[in-house]
Amino acid sequence: MKYLIAALTPIFWGSTYAIVNLWLTDLSPLWVATWRALPAGIILILLTPKSLRTLPVSAGKLTGLSLLNITAFFALLFIAAYRLPGSVAGTLTSTLPLQLLLLNWLFNKIRPAWSWLSLSTLGVAGIVLLLNPSANLDPIGVMAALGATLLIATSATWVQRWQVENIIGLTAWQLLIGGLLLVPLAWIVEGPVQIPAIDQVPALLWLSLVNTLLAYLIWFWSLKHLGSHIIGLLALLNPITAVGLGLLLVGESLSFIQWLGVALVLSALILMKVINRKSLVKAKSLKGTASTKVSFRERSST
């Protein structure tokens, strides 16, 4: 069940590209980012019990995390979404599992196991096969997508190192602070506030309430309960979702090579589940052996 819950975040995030291309092309990227983050932060703060509204980390850490994980990440994400086809943007963000493994090694001194490194590489290879070779690679969009992925990976390693307990408070304050910081950025870069049209409101509500408020709560919960190595691989569902929605909503089609890419990604996710289950069984076995040795020593001493 934990895996299914954690998988919701990349699935929700994978719908971003289709939503932008179908309903939000008239709005500028930074104002879409603002409309996505700020309402979610206000609503979550209002719904959060007073006992959970205290700052989960220091004000400095929280501001830095909000700037990195919301303001800069959303800005780069929507620049990529507006300048690249969904399949291309999704492919570039599929480097997340490898980035998480390397950043954990760099910052948290957690050396990646060969099994997880191999699975991450297998998943990325599958996503690369999904890439449409005729896609127009806008250099600014490419840099924005890679930069956004690096930001979300970096923030994940920070949160994992801090071991925050108040997930609701952490999410609420991040969205509020990050959303507020987006307002002057969007105003300076793209001009006065852009009010969405009535027919764009449902798309923005999905982005704000589901893609952001709910998805970020699940993201931080998953970091705490599953670890970055697992949620990094589950993040491969992001480009899979983007491609799937392209098939269903935009009328795109996949070649044999692209279907092979889907198969590789699904294989990596299945193997992840198998390897993690074996690791848990081995850990329980070692724990049981240690308990038996202690018990034997206690009986011997009596």
d(CA 276, CA 41): 34
Distance of CA 289 to the CA centre of its chain: 38
- pLDDT tens string, the chain, 302 residues long: the values are 788 899 899 889 888 888 888 899 899 999 999 999 999 999 999 999 988 888 889 999 999 999 999 999 999 989 988 887 766 666 677 778 777 888 878 777 777 777 777 877 777 777 777 665 555 568 888 888 889 989 998 988 888 888 788 999 999 999 999 999 999 999 999 999 999 999 999 999 999 999 999 999 999 999 888 887 788 778 778 777 877 776 777 666 667 787 887 788 778 777 776 676 655 445 445 455 544 444 434 444 44
- Please name the residues in contact with 155: beta carbons below 8 A apart, sequence gap of 6 or more: 65, 68, 69, 73
**Crossing angle of the two packed helices 86-93 and 16-23, in degrees rounded to 10:** 150
Q: Exposed, middle or buried by CB within 10 Å (0-12, 13-18, 19+), for 219?
A: buried
- Answer for the pair 45, 53: CB distance below 8 angstroms, yes or no: yes
Nearest Cα neighbor of 239 from 34, 96, 36 is: 96
pLDDT at position 131, please?
66
d(CA 153, CA 101): 9
- Please name the residues in contact with 248: beta carbons below 8 A apart, sequence gap of 6 or more: none
**How far, in Å, are 35, 170, 203, 240, 254 from residue 206 at the CA level?**
11, 21, 5, 19, 27
d(CA 45, CA 168): 9
Domain boundaries, the chain: 2-301
- Over the Cα atoms of the chain, what is R_g? 21
Biggest distance spanned by C-alpha atoms of the chain: 80
d(CA 237, CA 127): 10
- Answer for the pair 125, 75: CB distance below 8 angstroms, yes or no: no
- Answer for the pair 243, 130: CB distance below 8 angstroms, yes or no: yes
Nearest Cα neighbor of 9 from 158, 152, 194 is: 152
At 123-177, the pLDDT tens digits run 777 777 766 555 556 888 888 888 998 999 898 888 888 878 899 999 999 999 9
Nearest Cα neighbor of 115 from 302, 282, 284, 297 is: 282
